[in-house]
Amino acid sequence: MSDPIPYHSIKVDEKKCIGCVVCMKVCPTKAIRIKEKKAAVNAERCIDCGECYRACPYGAITPLTTKTSDITRFKIKVALPSPVLYSQFGSNIMPDQILNALKAIGFDYVYDESLACEMISIAIEEYLERNKSPRPIISSTCPVVVRLIQRLFPSLVSLIIRMEPPREIAAKNLKKELSKEHKISEQDIGIFHITSCPAKMVSINKPETMEKSYLDGAISIKEIYNQLMAQLKKEEHNFILQTQSQASGIGIGWAISGGEIRGIKQDASVSVSGVHDTIRILSDVESGKIKNIEYLECLICPDGCIGGPLTVENRFLAKSHILKLIRKFGRKNRIDISYVKQLYDKNFFSFERNIQPKPFPPLDPDKNEAIKKLKKKERILKNLPGINCGVCGAPDCESFAEDLVKGEKGLTIGRCVFLGE
Amino acid sequence: MEQETILSEEFEITGGDFINGGMASCRIKNILKEIGIDAEIMRRVAIASYEAEMNVVMYAKKGKMKLILTPHRIVIKVEDEGPGIPDIELAMQPGYSTATPEMREMGFGAGMGLPNIQKNADIFNINSTVGKGTNLQIVINLNNKNV
Ligand code: SF4
Ligand code: SF4
């Protein structure tokens, strides 16, 4: 892990990229341009949603997650699987089997993240009760949603719940407990999230709300899948169906959209998933169109984290497996509520520092210049064909006009194939 | 008092068009983002202009919304051809509404429109003639750092 820390969790493989425009078209923040027949990601605009990775037909977009071989540098290695993992191996394999399999492939400890999810459900309820700040309060679980708000909806940053997501809370707890138990430094304990999205790498490498993340990496479900499958096959005969895992349906439910609000008693909460629906609802919140909602859960992937870009199982089947598990494990809290409240009072769940808005730069830093450019952009746009073909290397005519007025190097209106040189 | 206008844009609003209601305020929001208006100010403009736009959609035949930007302030002017407001003082009271049950069913007409505009504006003027229409003027000052 000596390479420079990546600022983003995806990389374009220039050898495989043929500049086909598919990724550029799906990018929700218009961060991609095709330059010299290759996709180029503008780091300022990228929010790590993984849409380009999903869409690329040539496998040219690579997620930058932690390799399993990287974990060996720690004395104690801990796996912290997202409850999504329980949905990936069919509906007959139980969480306990998966946790055991993780241990068998090289982790010293395995901690079920769904326990932390259940804890956070209780803490969210506490937060909603105690904080009378403007509504709706928005979930901080999905790191992509946090970035989207910082970039596209900076005025909503103050609505984000000032509470760390389950993965960080679990890791914080584990580091403390394991270092006490084994009398070793927290630095010798490596905690790895088993994840459905590359975006976790960004929140680990460049955390927004704390100095340093408690997690040491995120391993892709795709990367670890075959190993786990082999292990599960090998040990299949040793397991009798068991449901004694400590988790409850509340925690496991966090794998799907609506899971977070299912755990809280607030009636006026809403869950939204998918990048376009998330953008739409946030835009409505920004206009004050959304009234009387207490809590808003947004997850960038379709159907929530089970639709994450690094999953293996078909997301509809995965959803069905999770729903089955929720029924099986029930809605009863397994976590001691008074313990969570104690931790809450000690600010155990709170952000160390607030999230900062990071709006996209305006057309020009000088307001008068920006207005001039806005008018120029409108004039250019009138001349462009408006069919958004993408052949110029920008995702649509509006972006092309914007690149032109921003004075993009070497770019002329002649790049439009309909207008010609 | 009058300041030099550096940007002026006008948008049409169609009464009764709940589907496209909100488009004008959304356009205004995007323009302000593109020229780098502070996020908090942008949000106040977004909320006030959305409420004003929806008032036209709900009650009037048609209307116009105008965005005027000067070095120190953002002005939103809304003119509609509608029934007018007989008692402005009453209409300004939170919770007062003449919305039909259908409108309420759709989540509109909680009687917070005008008070909400006022809450978000630095200056708010309203003129109305019964049988002719209503004019609103919403002024939001820019901070010094925006000048
Ligand atoms: S990860 Fe998302 S935001 Fe970033 S370049 Fe890809 S599609 Fe665009
Ligand atoms: S919805 Fe879940 S899987 Fe998708 S980006 Fe957000 S946290 Fe990651």
The whole-number average pLDDT for the span B36-47 is 94
Q: For residue A155, what is the nearest residue in chain B, using CA coordinates?
A: B39
Q: CA–CA separation, A126 vs A264, rounded Å?
A: 10
Whole-number pLDDT of residue B107? 67
Q: Which helix (H) or strand (E) holds A41?
A: strand A38-41
Q: CA–CA separation, A297 vs A161, rounded Å?
A: 10
Alpha-helix runs per DSSP H in A247-388: 249-252, 259-262, 275-286, 315-329, 337-345, 367-383
How many CB atoms sit inside 10 A of residue A19's CB?
18
- The verdict on a CB contact (< 8 Å) between B6 and A370 is no
Residues of A in contact with B6 (CB under 8 A): 367-368, 371
Query: Do the beta carbons of residue A78 and residue A46 sit within 8 Å?
Result: no
- The verdict on a CB contact (< 8 Å) between A367 and B43 is no
The whole-number average pLDDT for the span A238-248 is 59
The whole-number average pLDDT for the span B7-34 is 94
Residues of A in contact with B107 (CB under 8 A): 291
How many CB atoms sit inside 10 A of residue A246's CB?
14
Residues of A in contact with B110 (CB under 8 A): 291
User: What pLDDT, in 10s, does the model give residues A309-343?
Assistant: 999 999 999 999 999 999 999 888 888 999 999 99
Q: How far is CA B123 from the centre of its chain?
A: 12
Instruction: Name the minimum distance, in Å, from the CA of B14 to any CA of chain A.
Output: 18
**Contacts from B110-115 at CB under 8 Å and sequence distance 24+?**
B110/A291, B112/A291, B112/B51, B113/B51, B113/B52, B113/B54, B113/B55, B114/B51, B114/B55
Whole-number pLDDT of residue A151? 94
Which residues of chain B from 102 to 131 reach within 8 Å of chain A, CB to CB?
107, 110, 112, 116
Mutate to test the interface with B, among A156, A270, A285, A367 (most CBs of B within 10 A): A367
Mutate to test the interface with B, among A149, A152, A155 (most CBs of B within 10 A): A155
Q: Residue A196: CB within 6 Å of ligand 2?
A: yes
Query: Do the beta carbons of residue A168 and residue A348 sit within 8 Å?
Result: no
Whole-number pLDDT of residue B99? 78
Q: How far is CA B132 from the centre of its chain?
A: 18
The SS3 assignment for A64 reads coil
Query: Do the beta carbons of residue A174 and residue A26 sit within 8 Å?
Result: no
Q: Residue A39: CB within 6 Å of ligand 1?
A: no
Whole-number Å distance, alpha carbon A262 to ligand 2 midpoint, is: 17
User: What pLDDT, in 10s, does the model give residues A383-405?
Assistant: 999 999 999 999 999 999 999 99
Q: For residue A377, what is the nearest residue in chain B, using CA coordinates?
A: B34
Res A8 pLDDT > 80: yes
Which residues of chain A from 43 to 82 reach within 8 Å of chain B, CB to CB?
none
Whole-number pLDDT of residue A12? 96
Residues of B in contact with A367 (CB under 8 A): 6, 35-36, 146
Using alpha carbons, select from B82, B57, B53, B85 the residue that is nearest to residue B66.
B53
Res A5 pLDDT > 60: no
* The two structure tokens encoding residue A38: 């290759």
Whole-number pLDDT of residue A421? 54
- Lowest mean pLDDT across A58-62, A99-103, A272-276, B111-115: B111-115
Q: Residue A85: CB within 6 Å of ligand 2?
A: no
Q: For residue A286, what is the nearest residue in chain B, using CA coordinates?
A: B43
pLDDT band (50, 70, 90) for residue A72 = very high
How many CB atoms sit inside 10 A of residue A14's CB?
13
Q: Residue A404: CB within 6 Å of ligand 2?
A: no
- Residue A156 is classified by DSSP as G
Which residues of chain B from 35 to 94 reach within 8 Å of chain A, CB to CB?
35-36, 39-40, 42-43, 46-47, 50-51, 69
